[in-house]
Amino acid sequence: MPGTIKGPALFLAQFADDAAPFNSLPAITAWAADLGYKGVQIPTFDSRLFDLDRAAESQDYCDEVAGICAESGVEITELSTHLQGQLVAVNPAYDLSFDAFAPERLHRNPKARQEWAVDQVKKAAIASRRLGLTTSVSFTGSLAFPYLYPWPQRPPGLIEEAFAELARRWKPILDIYDENGVDIGYEIHPGEDVFDGATFEMFVDALNGHPRAQINYDPSHFLLQQLDYLAFIDLYHDRICAFHVKDAEFNPDGRQGVYSGYQGWTGRAGRFRSLGDGQVDFAGIFSKLTQYGYDSWAVLEWECCLKSPQQGAAEGAPFIASHIIESTGKTFDDFAGGEADHAQIKAMLGLES
């Protein structure tokens, strides 16, 4: 039975700012609602909008947060732990770069940084339950990604050990999510060890099929890899629990292709774009997700190298709304049918009754 996707919703991370109305939860949710959004995905790593430590300890605080959103006219879709999830697993090559995702007191201390990140992601499971949510979104982090290209030759067992370790780090976290009745939708994303269908399968296999290891589906990352993002839904729809509506374009030429020649975002062959400005087939995506019964949120994650965030957000709500399919409970040709008659069926097939 097809489901009806909920939305439009907005991921607040790209819009949070020190200037009003983007510097507090009441103001930013009211702004989002005025644009036509019905839900908001809250970044747990931005203290201007949300206090994760407090949410994990206080039902009263979670009720207050939910009340603020309801007063603005929006629901909370999911809590995001993208930055903390990234820090669950960090290859040393990225240590200095990813220090920025953690409090300054943890910089240049990878062990303490990881312990903090694991604690944060676990707290998000408790906070999600307190908020009445059953889904969250995150990143897996990466140990193997620097070895993405098989040159120099990878020693046998390197990738297997990386995924075994990734599973060892995430299994206790996922068990906490299971205890709280919450899924983690991992955003399958270059820079993570889980960046396509093959690596997601490797991750789930290393976790012995853990049911809480789910997918936050984002077609923009697949288009930039030249992966068939519609066939991906056919393969993995039973693990898709969240949906980032994000556009992208890929325009290779004689100078650059998928790797985009170390160019900045505006000069890359592959670029993220505002909704409707890229090449993603959202009509096909919404159709397939509806076909497979996806009935959770369609959340705009806005990123564009050309358009302003304000314009992107304003255009995003009606774009998503126009793609949501109200699923039907009947077949379009029911009017021409009739009651099943076993004898008639046998007669139509030339069989003896």
Residue ranges of domains in the chain: 6-348
Cis peptide before 21 (omega within 30 of 0): yes
Mean local confidence (pLDDT), 286-296: 97
Which has more confidence, 330 or 117? 117
- 52: which DSSP letter? H
The average confidence (pLDDT) of the chain is 96
CA 112 – CA 146 distance, rounded (Å): 22
Q: Tell me the residue type at 20.
A: A
Which has more confidence, 3 or 151? 151
CA 75 – CA 100 distance, rounded (Å): 30
pLDDT reported for residue 341: 84
Question: Is it the case that residue 329 has pLDDT exceeding 80?
Answer: no
pLDDT in tens, 29-81: 999 999 999 999 999 999 999 999 999 999 999 999 999 999 999 999 999 99
The pLDDT confidence band at residue 324, using thresholds 50, 70 and 90, is very high
Whether residue 303 contacts residue 294, with contact meaning beta carbons closer than 8 Å, is answered with no
Q: Hey, is 35 helix, strand or coil?
A: coil
Question: Is it the case that residue 325 has pLDDT exceeding 90?
Answer: yes
Question: Is it the case that residue 133 has pLDDT exceeding 60?
Answer: yes
pLDDT in tens, 140-198: 999 999 999 999 999 999 999 999 999 999 999 999 999 999 999 999 999 999 999 99
Which has more confidence, 344 or 91? 91
The CA-CA-CA angle for residues 350, 352, 353, to 5°, reads 120
Rounded to the nearest angstrom, the gap between the alpha carbon of residue 334 and the centroid of all alpha carbons in its chain is 37
pLDDT reported for residue 173: 98
Percent of the residues in the chain that have a pLDDT greater than 90, as a whole number = 92
Tell me the whole-structure pTM to 2 decimals: 0.95
Please state which CATH number belongs to domain 6-348: 3.20.20.150
